[in-house]
Amino acid sequence: MKASVPFLPSQNFSGRPWLATLGLGLVLLATTPALAQTPTIYGLGTVSRAIDPNTNPLYPAGAPAGTQGILPINAVTGTPNAFPTLITGVAVGQTLIGMDYRPNTGTLYALGYDPSIAFDATQQTFNARLYVLDPTTAVATPVGTAAGISLNLGTNVTRIGFDFNPTVDRIRVEGSSTRANYRLNPNTGGIAAFDSPPLLTYPAAPNNAYAPVIGSVAYTNSYAGSTSTALYALDIPGVGSSDQEAIAPNSGLLSFQNPPNGGVLSNPKAITLDGNSFGSPVAANVDVYFDPSTGTNKGYLTYVKARAANGTSSSDFYDIDVTTGVATNKRNILSPSLGTPFDIRDIAVAIAPPTQPALVGQLLYAVAGGNLISFDSGAPGTVRSAVNFGGGITTGETTVGIDFRPATGQLYALGYNATAGTATVYSVNLTTGGFTAAGPAIALALGAATDRVGFDFNPTVDRIRVLATNGNDYRLNPNNGALVIKDGNLTVATAGSAAAYTNSSSAANSTALYDYDATAGQLYLQSPPNDGTLVAVGGAGGPTSADGADFDIFNTRGTTTNAAFLALSPSGTANNFDNLYTVDLAAGTTAAVGRIGLGSNVSGLTAFIATGTGLTWNGSASTDWGTAANWTPNRVPTNADDVTIPGGTPNQPAVSGSQAARFVVLASGASLTSNDGSTLTVGGNFTNNGGTLAGAGTGTITLAGTAAQVIGGTGTSAFQNLTVGTAATSLAGPAAVQRVLLLNGNLTTTGQSLTLLSNAANSAHVVNAAGAVTGPVTVQRYIDGSINSGAGYRHYAAPVSGSTVADLATGGFTPVVNPAYNTAAIPSQVRAFPTVFGFDEARINTSGNPTPQDFDKGFFSPGALSDALTPGQGYVVNIPASETVDFVGTLNNGDVARTGLTRGSQTESGWQLLGNPYPSPISWTTTYNNGAAGLNNAVYVVKSTGQYAGGYASYVNGVGANGGTDQIATGQGFFVRVAAAGTPGALTFKNSGRLTTYASPAFQRGDATTAPLVRLALRNAAGRADEAVVYFDATATAGFDAALDAYKLNPAGATMGLATASTEALSIDARPALGTADVLVPLSVQAEAGSYTLAAAELLRLPTGTKAFLRDALTGTVTDLSQQPSYPFAVTAGASATGRFSLLLTTQAVLATAPAALSKQVNVFPNPARGTVSVGLPASLARQAIDATLVNALGQTVLRATLPAGATSQLALPSVARGVYTLRLLTAEGTVSKRLIVE
């Protein structure tokens, strides 16, 4: 009878161990066809004795002994279907000892062996080689590039077994007297493993008394995608020399070798040949054919009888049941004949190679035992490809999940070692099935080795979701295989065996995570994914299986159309085989499609993601992104295209104008430049795996997806300008911005670094249009060292919350605080001297000391480096210009209020050190107008000129002095002053005050005022200048105007200064609108001995006919600043410049020296004078105020005063010593000098 063999298992594969149990049959969705298919069988024949020419129709030219050929055998009759074809291509001295078809490819392989060459354990001398054998031409082609291998197979070439294991795509070679046991790699021809020791052996008596001599091996279930198999080994200890040869007790024992690698020959059955004993053949071979039409295995046996006296043998053919050893239906292949001494020593049942017909559904991949198979979702019963899977996996790990990475189209796998509790992420080569680790193994608790694992890519963040049936929920980074975070446990743990995301290739770039619980037949929506919360979709009722399920979702590229697939064994055990189902994600229902392959229990399922529609930069023509020739294929990317930019191309891309792409990936060594005025609109994720971003001006990358987008990769994505779209964006890798970060939607840092860069060219700032940044951010603050390149006092303010004094530290600067400074009698003598200060006006408790002693009492040291940097508060830091401070924390956004700002009763009371709290510049005018109460309008920003020296830039009402502008930079501290003692002030910073367009940190805007203005600059010999500004406003008064004037702040260490000398020194002095009356503005000049110039830096918008004159009371010089803008002068040692200069604005002509006739009309009386002198002026000189200077005989000024307009004025002479003096009167007609004696 014809025997059939049920499916039997094997443990000889690297797939999931639950597949290694005994399988007894197929679970089919459709009725198995009743008619068996007739296989094609090839026989490997060897000439047993020399054949003379013209004596044999098979070999007309004759043949020496050992010549080999291949011939087809009729499986029904056993007779040859054609003459043998002489085998060629085998190395001299080698004999083909066996052949078999490779189930994964349908290719015939054979092994050549030369027993005359001794086995070399060092593999330096070779005695064997693997070949691909063409059954039609009989040409043998060596496999691999190596010269061969060395095998320890003894000397009898008829006692060696050779057969493919279909579950792992490896060749079993064993037998001979050496009892060796090998696995060969059909891809390389090399030794995959040497499984001896232990030697092949019987486990129990009586057979264990004999050393087995295996002459043939055969695996069941030989088809692509097989996940279970059984290995049978035939023991042939004799040599078949004659019918009289002694028969060994173990001759003809057919054993189930389990485990195959362990060489244990269990359950041996004595083969019977149509009821007769096995005997001692010359050779015997078993092969097993899997009949796809019946789903059963059918065994065949060839038997070369013992030699007759004349040395001939017959080759017979049997059907055999390998589970019982019963061989029946003997057919003769070749009869014994002196003219036909041809032994059929081996047979191979042909296996059809996989085919790739046009897809009906979607291309799916799955792990089937030790192979990666592909199939059509519309026709899952046909395996389209199979490749050995897992080469390179870490010893001890098994593959527990696979998925295609949407960002790259690369297949990834997860290896898991349940004993160690570790896992490794791998990329997978689809062609070879080889693994490459993304990084080292990490600790993951995924349950027992038999537990299923959910493994799928989140396309929006390019991260891997890993779920386990113990409820654990992880995220992994595919770039380095590292654990990103362990999320919240699943609320239904058993659903963790199968998970998949939607929209893996969608332009929408949104996604949802679904899980399938195979124990309950329930689909869940995991929302939110990171919380592990499962929401049932529909009711339970889907197919169930205790063995778990595999699940994935295919997304139609560029759409939100998704098709979900489920692989599951409907009988619920690992022994049976998976069917494919479609899943309705809206209703939670399933529909059966069909069995996967010819019977597979898959342990992973993933839908193929094509990358062929993407574009790759080749840079062959230029750097222009918009040139089609620079791309492969030859076209410019659109918003539907995924773009990859590799390194090493002739040119790297630069974007000009408006361009678009969906996903953008920069490989290592790549660069992408955004030219000034350009915009690259990205609809999906932006991934930088080691590339560089560059840009100029307004070059912008805009994220414009309709759903969440991700900036990721291993490299830092440093954007010139970045615009975040209305959909949320998150970071999966480090990022930075050089200029403008425009937030039309939220940006979440998700534990990655985001840096706002600052340098001499640019300083980044944030525009919170309709979004905000969530998570910590690093904000850099570059120091402009153009005035002072060394250490000096700079005023800072934190643009983030959560920052501390310690955050001011840089690579070359460590902040110092010392609270002892705050109570020291002489703070300057405290050691260690602080380098960080705050300011508290309540500490000022004196008046009248030389400037700035009273003011400086407001400075105090923080108590500790851990003290918080309060948003909206300013801080003084003595730090080198070479250092770039960065603040780390949550970006400030929205209202920031500084209230309860006080002003005491002292002269220098009321000053408040505040600061810009935002990661963007602010407009002082808008900030003051929208949020100030009880404050003067002026703002003061320090300008460092030395380690302990500097000045202040001031700004008020559109007028600036010393570079003061309306803009206050990111991280900038500044002074303001409360307007009145006893009335608290307040300032609320608002987003309305923030700039929404880029402002260069080095760019200083001009004054915003349109009023008449005179800007005077005092400059020393080294070129350093200090300014004072006089402007004219109809709302101004002669006194201090809180909304219009700015005080003169001179910090400690100032060696020069210029101000107007009103009731208080002013850096910006608003005077009433100019009319026809003369205006005399006394100037306060602070200067040490040396050479100086006093210049009109600007004369703007003065009424027609009005001129500005600079008067020097010491020399009597009057300078027309429109004709001579710069006036040089000197200050001698011991002399003072106080009261020496004044600014005159007049419509009258002014002479340097008054006419003699007019001078005679000026009377000084009494003369000599004591205590007071009267000055009488003619009507022509009495119309305006006059500067009066009293100079002694040495030329030193001893008194300065301004005489009011009028005919007679009194000039007090307090403490003026006796002597002869010159009284100089600066009049509109020139200088009048009068001799005066003081008694």
Tokens 């595919």, residue located: 478
Q: Could you read off the pLDDT of 1006-1056 as tens digits, one per residue? A: 457 889 999 999 999 988 889 999 999 999 998 899 999 999 987 655 666
User: Can you read off the two tokens belonging to residue 955?
Assistant: 């700004």
Residue 648 and residue 575 in one domain:
no
Tokens 């407001």, residue located: 858
**pLDDT more than 90, % of the chain:** 73
Q: pLDDT value at position 602?
A: 93
Q: pLDDT value at position 508?
A: 58
Q: How many helices (H) and strands (E) does the chain have?
A: 3, 98
Q: Name which residue leads in pLDDT, 1002 or 280.
A: 280
Whether 395 is in a domain gets the answer yes
Q: Could you read off the pLDDT of 652-679 as tens digits, one per residue? A: 999 999 999 988 999 999 999 999 999 9
| pLDDT at 612 exceeding the cut of 80 | no
With contact defined as beta carbons under 8 Å apart, do 682 and 706 qualify? no
Q: What is the DSSP string of 563-585?
A: EEEEEE-TTSSTTS--EEEEE-T
Residue 85 and residue 163 in one domain:
yes
Residue 1178 and residue 1229 in one domain:
yes
Whether 868 is in a domain gets the answer yes
From CA 427, how far away is CA 437, in angstroms rounded? 6
Q: Stretch 1197-1204: mean pLDDT, rounded? A: 86
Computed over every residue of the chain, the mean pLDDT equals: 90
From CA 70, how far away is CA 80, in angstroms rounded? 10
Q: pLDDT value at position 1224?
A: 87
Whether 524 is in a domain gets the answer yes
Q: What is the DSSP secondary structure assignment for residue 618, as one 8-state letter?
A: -
With contact defined as beta carbons under 8 Å apart, do 755 and 730 qualify? no
Whether 999 is in a domain gets the answer no
Q: pLDDT value at position 1193?
A: 77
| pLDDT at 21 exceeding the cut of 80 | no
Sequence-distant (6+) residues with CB within 8 A of 1186 are 1080, 1177, 1202, 1203, 1205, 1209, 1225, 1226, 1227
Residue 597 and residue 712 in one domain:
no
Which of 478, 386, 337, 343 is closest to 166 using CA atoms? Answer: 386
Residue 942 and residue 1071 in one domain:
no
Domain boundary among 607, 623, 657: 607
From CA 488, how far away is CA 683, in angstroms rounded? 30
Q: How many domains does the chain have?
A: 6
Q: pLDDT value at position 1143?
A: 94
From CA 307, how far away is CA 1234, in angstroms rounded? 154
Residue 41 and residue 137 in one domain:
yes
Q: Could you read off the pLDDT of 975-1017 as tens digits, one per residue? A: 999 999 999 999 999 999 999 999 866 433 445 788 999 999 9
Whether 223 is in a domain gets the answer yes
Confidence of residue 30 (pLDDT cuts 50, 70, 90): very low
Residue 317 and residue 372 in one domain:
no
Residue 56 and residue 167 in one domain:
yes
Residue 877 and residue 947 in one domain:
yes
Q: pLDDT value at position 575?
A: 58
Q: pLDDT value at position 55?
A: 78
Confidence of residue 52 (pLDDT cuts 50, 70, 90): confident
What is the span of the domain harbouring residue 667?
Answer: 615-752
Q: pLDDT value at position 413?
A: 98
What CATH number corresponds to the domain at position 135? 2.115.10
Domain boundary among 1110, 1129, 1150: 1150
What CATH number corresponds to the domain at position 1168? 2.60.40.3080
| Cβ atoms within 10 Å of 314's Cβ, excluding its own | 18
Whether 12 is in a domain gets the answer no
| pLDDT at 19 exceeding the cut of 70 | no
Q: Stretch 410-416: mean pLDDT, rounded? A: 97
Whether 1004 is in a domain gets the answer no
Q: Could you read off the pLDDT of 905-941 as tens digits, one per residue? A: 999 999 999 999 999 999 999 999 999 999 999 999 9
Whether 496 is in a domain gets the answer yes
Residue 383 and residue 480 in one domain:
yes
Residue 1144 and residue 1208 in one domain:
no
Residue 546 and residue 472 in one domain:
yes
Q: Could you read off the pLDDT of 148-204 as tens digits, one per residue? A: 999 999 999 999 999 999 999 999 999 888 999 999 999 999 999 999 888 999 999
**Residue-level length of the chain:** 1239
Domain boundary among 326, 349, 372: 349
Q: Could you read off the pLDDT of 581-605 as tens digits, one per residue? A: 999 999 999 999 999 999 999 989 9
User: Can you read off the two tokens belonging to residue 869?
Assistant: 């940097």
Confidence of residue 738 (pLDDT cuts 50, 70, 90): very high
Q: pLDDT value at position 1227?
A: 80
Q: Could you read off the pLDDT of 838-875 as tens digits, one per residue? A: 999 999 999 988 888 899 999 999 999 999 999 999 99
**pLDDT more than 70, % of the chain:** 94
Confidence of residue 17 (pLDDT cuts 50, 70, 90): very low
Q: Stretch 765-778: mean pLDDT, rounded? A: 96
User: Can you read off the two tokens belonging to residue 146?
Assistant: 């190596």
Q: Could you read off the pLDDT of 1081-1127 as tens digits, one per residue? A: 999 898 888 999 999 999 999 999 999 999 888 888 899 999 999 99
